[in-house]
Amino acid sequence: MTANVVRLMVGLPVGALFPLGVPGLRDSLRVHTGVGLAYSAFVLAPVFPQWRSWVLLVLTGAACVGLRSRLGPSRGAAPETPWISSMFAPRHVVIPGLVVGLTAAVGLLAGPRSFGGYLGGLLHDDRVVLISAGALTSIFIGGAIVEQVLEPHTGKLRLKSSPPPGEPSELRALVGAGMLIGWLERAIVFSFVMAGQSTAAVLALTAKSVARFPALSRNEEGFAEYFLVGTLTSLVMALGPALATHWLLGAVSPG
């Protein structure tokens, strides 16, 4: 099986699925579908403008709409994570957009032919798609799976930990911060595994455990079990895509 075929088989499903793991993207059908189609167009770059590329793009768009309609509204905008949703506000695109635009302008002015060749090579490089698909699966699709695994326990833990009227809820802060910590944790583990430094990933888990040690030692309201289930699920979702990506990069043939 060629790398080009694997690129499509891996990249297109990931394009349709990964926005479900990001509150700022899954809250809107338009945004979810737009982001999914944008990544899918990147995956389909080598086969454009063949007719099958347009068929696959339409099918991926339909999958985005179907998945979001089936899974998105029931979850909605999580009240515990408004600050995570705000991370994806349009105003936060300004500075990265300026940096990318300036870099592209310099490249075009300094060497338009070489810059165009480099950009074309990047778009057609199957390794870039496989690694990015693995990272998106690990970080965001993995996050959605962790949410699903913890969902039955989250409601019970929230009920037990409800503060008196007028006092802030520590669990609310925990759930909101936990999502971002999970993204960072899986990103670190994925990066270390891809770099061939699997043992270094233990550092991320150690730092997280040390930070949670006071609550773990008290085992307040079943928090220790909640923490362990979430952490181990997150670890599996980081290691699985990383190992699969590493294997695919070595197993597929170019062409």
- Give residue 254's pLDDT band: very low, low, confident or very high (50, 70, 90): low
What type of residue is 176?
A: G
Mean pLDDT of the chain: 79
E strands along 18-149, which residues?
Answer: none
Higher pLDDT, 65 or 167: 65
CA distance 28 to 32: 6
37-96, pLDDT tens digit by residue? 999 999 999 888 888 999 999 999 999 999 888 876 554 444 445 556 666 666 777 888
Higher pLDDT, 37 or 174: 37
Say which range, 108-112, 137-141, 175-179, has the weakest mean pLDDT.
Answer: 175-179
Closest CA to 254 of 41, 5, 9: 5
Q: Nearest 5°: CA angle at 111, between 108 and 114?
A: 100
Give the pLDDT confidence score for residue 187 in this predicted structure.
93
**Residue 252 carries which DSSP code?**
S
Instruction: Give the pTM.
Output: 0.81
- Give residue 117's pLDDT band: very low, low, confident or very high (50, 70, 90): confident
138-165, pLDDT tens digit by residue? 999 999 899 888 877 766 665 555 554 5
pLDDT greater than 60 at residue 167: no
- Give residue 222's pLDDT band: very low, low, confident or very high (50, 70, 90): low
